[in-house]
Amino acid sequence: MTSAQHPPQSAHDPRPRPVAASCDLLLTGGTVVTVDERYTVHEPGAVAVTGDRITAVGPADELSALRARTVLDCRGQAVIPGFVDGHTHLYQALVRGLGEGMSIVPWLCDFMWPYSISVTGEDAVAGVRLAAAEALRAGITTVVDHHYAPTDLDTTLAVARTLEEAGLRGAVARGIVGERTAVAAARGQPDALFRYSAQDELDLTRQAVAHRPPGSRVEVWPAPLNLTYVDQELVRAAVGLARELGTRWHTHCCESGADPRGYTAAYGVRPLQWLAGEGLLDERATLAHAVWLDDEEIEQAGAAGAAVAHNPVSNGYLASGTLRLPALRDAGVLMALGTDGPSCGHRQDMFECMKQAVLAQRLHTLDPQVVTAREVLAMATREGARYAGVDAGSLVAGRLADLAVVDLTAPHLRPLHDVMSTLVYAARAGDVTTTVVGGRIVHRDGHCLSVDEQAAAAEAQERADALLRRAGIDVPSRAAQHRAATPSPTHTSIGERR
């Protein structure tokens, strides 16, 4: 990870680069989708990797003389930059598929908060381990994991360690809540969620960053949980801590229309307007959602150099609204994509996020050209890397060797005409055959090499069952679901009437 300033993208240089005679890993024969500034595609192409960096990219025949310790034959496949998931909650993997039919506030108050209060550190790590494996199988190489249950020092560091051991890079954005505010009380948030004083939150975050400072494979960032209901002075202190320690900072921002309304009622100003007015909105800010921003806030975000993680699948699932992507883009806001985790987005699938990002904008504006496949592919890779402060996101010599290989031979991907459109509209997470992070193969042919997936899934199921009983969350039994789906014998089926 780099410093908090967004790293610049290297300009296209037409001069040939010197190529070493050998490399550690050579991916050759595939369609290499660089996602550089010119969206260069080499078909067939090759990518050479030495250590943790890309050393050469180009047509396959130009790199054919390279001696490589490991060669991956990528014929019939696309080689793409690894995806960056700009906002997720991996500990929520234990309640995937629940919370159906709720908008954001009931979903939080009646479902997610009871779960989050009851989850233990061991539960959280089990969920993170399972979700990390899922992410790697989907070609995700970097995550910003907004972790907020529980947030004691040991659990925060265990989550970061679990991500790194699985093979991911990124950040654990430690959720900061502090003491219960009037806004939180008005929203119905339970007392038990607010476990630490403001000073304790800051001290714990400082300790966690000391263990995982900027430059770590998995960093820790301060992360006020939500601009709406975290105390203003604690938000101010968290931003100050990020500036002092040289990290980015992360928060939920105006995901629901109720957020700016409640904040204005309490403070007489909208959340992002307050942040900008206090000089706290800056290039270190990574804002999740940002659906309900007005014109002034969008301009303020752009002027400050802030970044936004768009979560189109979870916004649709919770009926939260449609992000004003064209306005944010025109204001110069750096845009990434996020899954919002396995409980709200349900899958760690950036292909789904890319497609939904396009379709939601076109439905909202009735403009088929409002956003294109190549633009959202950049959001999921190149721009996501800038958002996370990672020197990756493009297949360009000198960048970190974070990449994915996607099979293009399945029926739903043929015939192949425009590879970028095919990746965005037709591909899915299960089409990823190989994931490489820092030059190391961490997923190959449906198996994560650093995670025992069967053991992780078994532990997650066992812990989830116990946790739901402990939290008092009602889950329809499998037998009841089967009975509900089976027609009563007193009813006549369509087939019988025929």
Side-chain-side CA neighbours of 469 within 13 Å: the count stands at 6
44 within some domain: no
Prediction pTM value: 0.92
**The domain that contains 91 carries what CATH number?**
3.20.20.140
- Please tell me which residue, 2 or 61, carries the higher pLDDT value: 61
63 within some domain: no
401 within some domain: no
Beta pairing, strands 403-407 & 22-33? unpaired
- Give me the phi and psi of 438, to 5 degrees please: 60, 35
Contact 382, 393 (CB under 8 A): yes
Mean pLDDT of the chain: 92
pLDDT at 492: 30
Q: What percent of the chain has pLDDT above 90?
A: 83
pLDDT at 487: 45
Choose the weakest-confidence range: 125-134, 178-187, 449-458, 470-479. 470-479
Model confidence over 28-56: pLDDT tens digits?
A: 999 999 999 999 999 999 999 999 999 99
Total domain count, the chain:
1
464 within some domain: no
Whole domain around residue 367: which residue ranges? 83-391
355 within some domain: yes
444 within some domain: no
Residue 497 has pLDDT above 50, yes or no: no
The rounded distance, in Å, linking the Cα atoms of 27 and 74 is 6
328 within some domain: yes
Three-point CA angle 395, 350, 208, nearest 5°? 85
Residue 189 banded pLDDT, cuts 50, 70, 90: confident
Residue 316 banded pLDDT, cuts 50, 70, 90: very high
- Please tell me which residue, 268 or 20, carries the higher pLDDT value: 268
Q: Tell me the mean pLDDT in the region 4-11.
A: 44
The rounded distance, in Å, linking the Cα atoms of 387 and 384 is 5
Residue 104 banded pLDDT, cuts 50, 70, 90: confident
Contact 354, 382 (CB under 8 A): no
Residue 56: C-alpha distances to residues 74, 166, 258, 451 (Å): 16, 27, 50, 30
Q: Tell me the mean pLDDT in the region 99-103.
A: 88
Model confidence over 380-396: pLDDT tens digits?
A: 999 999 999 999 999 99
Model confidence over 362-377: pLDDT tens digits?
A: 999 999 999 999 999 9
pLDDT at 482: 39
The rounded distance, in Å, linking the Cα atoms of 83 and 384 is 8
The rounded distance, in Å, linking the Cα atoms of 228 and 237 is 15
486 within some domain: no
Q: How many CB atoms are closer than 10 A to CB 458?
A: 13
Residue 13 has pLDDT above 90, yes or no: no
Three-point CA angle 475, 127, 477, nearest 5°? 15
Instruction: Summarize the chain as % helix, strand, coil (round to 5).
Output: 40, 20, 35
Residue 121 has pLDDT above 70, yes or no: yes
Strands of 305-431 (E only): list them: 307-310, 334-337, 403-407
pLDDT at 478: 42
pLDDT at 453: 96
In a 3-state reduction of DSSP, which class is residue 183?
helix
Of residues 312, 311, 426, 293, the one with CA closest to residue 364: 312
**Alpha-carbon torsion, ordered 333, 336, 341, 346, to 10 deg:** 110
